[in-house]
Amino acid sequence: MDSTKEIFGITRRQFVTSSAAVLATSGFAHEANAVTALARQPSEQGKSGPGAGRGPFRVIIDTDPGVDDALALLLAMRSPELKIEAITPVAGNVPLDLTLPNALRMVEIAGRTDIPVAAGARAPLVRRLVTATYAHGENGLGGAVFPEPTTKPVATPAADLIRQIVRKYPGEVTLITIGPLTNIASALNSDPELASMVRGLVMMGGSLSGGNITPAAEFNVYVDPEAARIVFQSGIPVTMVGLDVTRRTSLTDDHVRALEAAQNPVSQAAAKIGRNAINHNREGGYLVGPNMHDSLAVAGFLDPAILKLQDYYIDVETTGELTAGETLGYSPVAGDLRRRPGMEKDATNMPIRGSAPTLASTKTSPVLRDKFVPNTKVAVEVDSARFFDLLIGRLSGSK
């Protein structure tokens, strides 16, 4: 049976029951593998910037195009450091009926029809789909119109293709996720051994500084918080490129003019999408252009010097009426929990606590982890100039 049908056919109670085993098992894996997992992070490979002896890295790009997704895909397909094994669209910014053809359009524009594109989930694991057409336009590309794609997706569903590729190249594949994490969670739920075979996961999503669809939640995590929680708890080495840094990547008229000046199909398509997105923002009364959230996740993988990362334990709120989709970051060296220099190691016994018990309960506050063990490298600073130099340079063909 199609694994996506199996997953979307379950009830919320069945989902919570089945995924509990994944979460519990992965909790032990975090402590056993924390040091080696973080050492395998792709951001630690190569110190001299893009193209300097790095790669090629096998990657799967999971995406919901989307304005910034489209530019991120074009950037990835113009980057020789990446061996793109598949592109797996998912419902998110717009429904799958739009994200799938939008991904196929980008493949054709980049002249990369050799890359398999596989249709993913039409809906989150246990929730109804919430889209972001208010930001990306009804067609997902800010109103920029392109011909219908002639390339067809492969027959294999996205979750199955992800599983097949990771198993074919164990320890070699990095997942670059720039949409809701439904496809990835579906693959993990259907194959308990899969997480240990993934080299790493670089995600655009989450935030430690407030959300963009609610005050608490970033959009990609908000759409499918249950899927995000499975990913963070899976034991896969995760790099989170969230709103803390992507808010500093506003596309400008100068960027678009540089793309328009380059005479190649990729730069012209990127300029068209960018110009429409900027105009869409202005019509909405926004003070800045659209942020290149997803392109930053790709660029940060290509050039580790673009981002500064810090270790956190990340979990996702899935039950809050006002906070569902919020990413919570625990660190003994950040915020009010930070220690003075030389005392950080003593703080690793910091417990990770759940909510306080109610008066009707005899239970104590649950301790989710008895000590601090990081599961995620979080981007906390960005070199925006270096990022745009890479993005515009690759899309225009000058780099």
Active site residues: 293
How far apart are alpha carbons 84 and 60 in whole angstroms?
A: 6
* CA distance linking residue 167 with residue 135, whole number of Å: 37
- Angle ∠(356,124,367) on CA atoms, nearest 5: 20
Hey, how many other C-beta atoms are within 10 angstroms of the C-beta on 328? 16
Name every residue whose Cβ is closer than 8 Å to that of residue 259 and which is 6 or more positions away in sequence. Answer: 267, 268, 270, 271, 274, 392, 395, 396
Rounded Cα distance, 128 and 10, in Å:
14
Distance, in Å, from the CA atom of 362 to the CA atom of 238, rounded to the nearest integer, reads: 36
d(CA 297, CA 279): 24
d(CA 308, CA 43): 10
DSSP notation for 91-105: SSSS-HHHHHHHHHH
Name residues whose C-beta falls within 8 Å of residue 285's C-beta, 6 or more positions apart in sequence.
none
| Contact status, residue 89 vs residue 65, Cβ threshold 8 Å | yes
* Per-residue tokens: 32: 């056993």
Q: 3-state class of 202 per DSSP? A: strand
Alpha-carbon torsion (336, 239, 181, 352), positive or negative: negative
Contact 72, 295 (CB under 8 A): yes
The residues, any chain, with a CB within 8 Å of residue 287's CB and separated by 6 or more, are: none
Residue 250 is given by DSSP the state: B
DSSP single-letter state for residue 399: -
**Per-residue tokens: 336:** 């009010």
In whole angstroms, what is the distance from residue 163 CA to residue 183 CA? 10
In degrees, rounded to 5, the angle at the alpha carbon of residue 98 between the alpha carbons of residues 96 and 99 is: 65
